[in-house]
């Protein structure tokens, strides 16, 4: 029988014979994520499993697991109905602690941004991030180019995805670039090796191509509160600053795209300023 290659016992649903063994992708404090298949051997899916917690009373643990999985599934279904880019739910058994979802091909946004930044020198990235405030004429020419760079385009897509999420009445609860996937566009045929410098630049830009898909809704809630939405943005802003400090200034592009996508964004951004102030006070006080 197919079993996951891990020391952890897999959920019962993964112990039945299958064409390919499931693989443990990651483990968090509350659950594990496996890659397996759904119905067909060529249809990959993600299975999220919340194992029993021995430190909790069995009845309480079962109720919490069932409630959290059911809540996550409802949030995902609501987002799908409203056109928010999230994985589809294929099947679930809250009593057994698992939910099967669409497998999103691609790489995390975090990885894409870091790979893009790693391919550029510090001087080039500084020009890209600070171009809007440069006064030197040579730097100003670079500023005109940065308005269409792949990284700026990605920031716009991130802002649009978060705006669509908040417009639906859902707050993610753990917005980071690790919880966003870059789903690449369909293949456009064969590639030609040994291209020109311009073609090489386009190849590098492909790491940031694709649709931004939001994932991991374990902490998501349905909320219309500007405060909750602002906290969501603040979490993303702080995560962005710590994970991608070289591109931190481009977060303003995320907020601009968010505002263009979500009509009620203005009041959320006012709240965001308040949340930032509270965060600074906590940092100063320790």
Report the C-alpha gap between 26 and 12 in whole angstroms: 18
Give the angle 79-173-182 at the CA atoms, nearest 5°. 60
- Note whether 47 and 99 are within 8 A (CB): yes
Q: Which domains does the chain have, with CATH numbers?
A: 2-102 (3.30.200.20), 107-278 (1.10.510.10)
Q: Let me know if 45 is exposed, middle or buried by CB neighbors in 10 A (0-12, 13-18, 19+).
A: buried
List the one residue out of 212, 145, 150 whose CA is nearest residue 177: 212
Tokens of 145: 């180019």
Catalytic residue among 93, 153, 174, 211: 174
* DSSP-based helix, strand, coil % in the chain, nearest 5: 50, 15, 30
List the one residue out of 105, 115, 104, 111 whose CA is nearest residue 216: 104
Decide which of 140 and 10 is more confident: 10
Active site residue 174: yes
- Alpha carbon dihedral 120, 126, 130, 134, in 10-degree steps, equals -120
101 dihedral zone (left: phi>0; alpha: psi -120 to 50; beta): beta
Whether residue 284 is predicted with pLDDT greater than 70 in this model: the reply is: no
List the one residue out of 117, 60, 85, 94 whose CA is nearest residue 244: 117
Whether residue 259 is predicted with pLDDT greater than 80 in this model: the reply is: yes
pLDDT (tens digit, 9 = 90+) per residue, 128-144? 444 433 444 444 444 44
- Note whether 31 and 48 are within 8 A (CB): yes
C-beta atoms surrounding 124 within 10 Å? 12
The pLDDT of residue 201 is: 60
Identify the bridge partners of residue 24 per DSSP, sorted by sequence position: 34
Whether residue 146 is predicted with pLDDT greater than 50 in this model: the reply is: no
Hey, which of 152-166, 195-209, 269-283 has the most confident mean pLDDT?
152-166
Whether residue 188 is predicted with pLDDT greater than 60 in this model: the reply is: no
pTM over 0.95? The answer is: no
Tokens of 69: 């999985």
């Amino acid at each position: 029988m197919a079993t996951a290659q891990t020391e952890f016992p897999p959920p019962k649903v993964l112990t039945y014979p299958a064409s390919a063994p499931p693989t443990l992708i990651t483990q968090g404090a509350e659950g594990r994520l496996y890659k397996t298949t759904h119905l067909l051997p060529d249809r990959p899916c993600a299975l999220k499993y919340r194992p029993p917690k021995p430190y909790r009373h069995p009845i309480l643990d079962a109720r919490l697991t069932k409630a959290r999985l059911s809540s996550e599934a409802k949030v995902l279904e609501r987002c799908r109905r409203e056109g928010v880019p999230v994985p589809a739910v294929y099947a679930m058994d809250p009593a057994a602690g698992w939910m099967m979802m669409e497998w999103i091909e691609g790489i995390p946004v975090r990885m894409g941004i870091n790979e893009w930044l790693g391919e550029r020198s510090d001087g080039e990235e500084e020009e890209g991030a600070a171009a809007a405030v440069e006064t030197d004429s040579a730097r100003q020419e670079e500023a005109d180019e940065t308005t269409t760079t792949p990284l700026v385009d990605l920031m716009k897509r991130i802002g649009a995805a978060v705006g669509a999420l908040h417009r639906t009445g859902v707050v993610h609860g753990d917005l980071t670039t690790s919880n966003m996937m870059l789903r690449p566009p369909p293949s456009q045929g064969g590639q030609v090796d040994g291209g020109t410098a311009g073609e090489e630049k386009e190849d590098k830009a492909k790491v940031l191509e694709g649709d931004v898909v939001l994932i991991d809704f374990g902490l998501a809630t349905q909320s219309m509160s500007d405060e909750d939405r602002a906290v969501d943005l603040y979490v993303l802003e702080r995560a962005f600053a710590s994970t991608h400090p070289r591109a931190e200034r481009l977060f303003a592009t995320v907020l601009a795209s968010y505002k263009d996508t979500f009509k009620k964004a203005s009041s959320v951004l006012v709240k965001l300023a308040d949340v930032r102030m509270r965060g600074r006070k906590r940092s100063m006080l320790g």
